[in-house]
Structure 1
Amino acid sequence: MVRIKNRYIVVRIVPQADAKILNFHDGVLAKCVLRNVKKYFGDYGLGIVEHGFRVKYCNERTKVAIIRCLHRSHRTLTATLPLITMIGDVRAKFHTLYTGATIIQCNKFIINHQQKFLNEMVGQIVSAKERNDFIKRVMEFDLEQ
Structure 2
Amino acid sequence: MVRFKHRYITVELILPKVPEYKPFYLKSHILSETILEKIQQVHGDFGLAAVKNGFVAKYCNENTRIAIIRSRHGPHRFVTSSLPFITKIGKLDVILKTLHVSATMKHSFKFIQKHQRSYLDTVWSKLRTDEERKALEEAVMNFTKTDISINIERLG
Compute the TM-score of the two structures, normalised by the length of structure 2: 0.87
8 A contact 1:37–1:77 mirrored in 2: yes
Equivalent positions of 1:27-38 (< 5 A) are 27-38=29-40
Equivalent positions of 1:4-23 (< 5 A) are 4-20=4-20, 21-23=23-25
What number of residue pairs does the alignment pair up? 145
Equivalent positions of 1:1-145 (< 5 A) are 1-20=1-20, 21-142=23-144, 143=147, 145=149
Which runs of 4 or more aligned residues in structure 1 lie more than 3 Å from their structure 2 counterparts after TM superposition? none
* 1: CA distance, partners of 2:92 / 2:46: 28
> What is the identity, as a one-letter code, of the residue corresponding to 2:54?
G
8 A contact 2:60–2:148 mirrored in 1: no
8 A contact 2:34–2:89 mirrored in 1: yes
TM superposition shift of 1:102: 0.8
* 2: CA distance, partners of 1:18 / 1:120: 19
* 1: CA distance, partners of 2:87 / 2:5: 29
> Please, which moves more after superposition, 101-110 or 18-27?
18-27
TM superposition shift of 1:83: 0.6
* 2: CA distance, partners of 1:127 / 1:66: 32
8 A contact 2:39–2:79 mirrored in 1: yes
Structure 1: gaps of 5 or more residues = none
Structure 2: gaps of 5 or more residues = 150-156
SS in 2 for 1:8: strand
* 2: CA distance, partners of 1:19 / 1:91: 13
Compute the TM-score of the two structures, normalised by the length of structure 1: 0.93
TM superposition shift of 1:131: 1.6
8 A contact 2:27–2:148 mirrored in 1: no
CA RMSD of aligned residues (A): 1.4
TM superposition shift of 1:144: 7.5
Q: 1:33-82 CA distances to partner (integer Å, 9 max, x unpaired)? A: 11111121222211111110011101111011110000021100000001
